[in-house]
Amino acid sequence: MSEKIKILAVVGPTAVGKTALGIELAQAFNGEIISGDSQQVYRNLDIGTAKASPEEQAAATHHLIDVRDVDETYSVYDFVQEAKAAINDITSHGKLPIIVGGTGLYLQSLLEGYHLGGELDQKELLAYRTELESLSDQDLFGKIAELDLDIPQLNRRRAIRALELAKFGQNMENSQTDYDALLIALNDERPVLYERINQRVDAMVEGGLLEEAKWLYDNYPQVQAARAIGYKELFPYFAREQSLDEALDKLKQNTRRFAKRQLTWFRNRMQADFYMVGQEDYKEKVRKNVSDFLTRP
């Protein structure tokens, strides 16, 4: 049996500090970063996606940023295939792959994998899939809401796949993954995190978010990328259906709710070590655990 590839994954809610920590770890442990964010793949969408700045990208090599035009789609399958290729490229140069991002479904699909097999009853799966296919969009997406599943750019295919994983995941064969991953999950006290989110939105506006979103609204209002948090909330303002304050309040609210869903995903669905960024020594603990992880057989 070949030795598994060791990788790090820095995960957690939006605005908690994943990008900065990822860069520090890349510099400390000879690593390169793979974006684990479903929106940072799009060119020209820099501010609303909280993409690593040119200075940050210069501080550590980044992969899977700016790999799609805004009128192209991007799926879990695309991410898994391209992330695997990036991991192979990084390790071929003797460096450490570090995934940084908060799209839980993408990360779980890559790190754990799901291959139909084991004790899974194929007929039961097919029956469940047929049942889901027969549902209206409203009922199907209602099931997603009931389970509080975090699915970027929700559509029928993604909803059905997520519900299958939720129902049958424990019986789906996932023992053949090629990776030995250490998940570093960041969190903070909720009022502090929410205030950081609010401040980030304000900083995005100062940095040109409205111009970026208006370009998307004027040129590509129907594409997948336009349905992302950070852009869709501003469209009613551009359509003169809401005031700017109302649109920004909605953006902050949706981002806070998204952060809560991200935390739920990483707590309940993935084996991650959580660190509170408000604690002064959390980075020391992270570095020690990473060092121990990399040196153990």
Ligand-binding annotation for 14, yes or no, is: yes
Ligand-binding annotation for 130, yes or no, is: no
| 103, two tokens | 């799209």
HSE value, Cβ hemisphere, 13 Å, CA-based, for 266: 26
| 209, two tokens | 């978010």
Give φ, ψ of 152 to 5 degrees. Answer: -60, 140
Q: How far is CA 271 from CA 80, 114, 245, 266, 268, in A?
A: 19, 16, 39, 7, 8
- Crossing angle of helices 104-111 and 244-269, in 10° steps, is 30
- CB-CB contact of 261 with 13 (8 Å): no
d(CA 118, CA 57): 42
Ligand-binding annotation for 264, yes or no, is: no
Ligand-binding annotation for 236, yes or no, is: no
d(CA 107, CA 125): 23
Ligand-binding annotation for 16, yes or no, is: yes
Ligand-binding annotation for 177, yes or no, is: no
Residues making up the annotated binding site for substrate are: 14-19
Residues making up the annotated binding site are: 12-19
Residues making up the annotated binding site for ATP are: 12-19
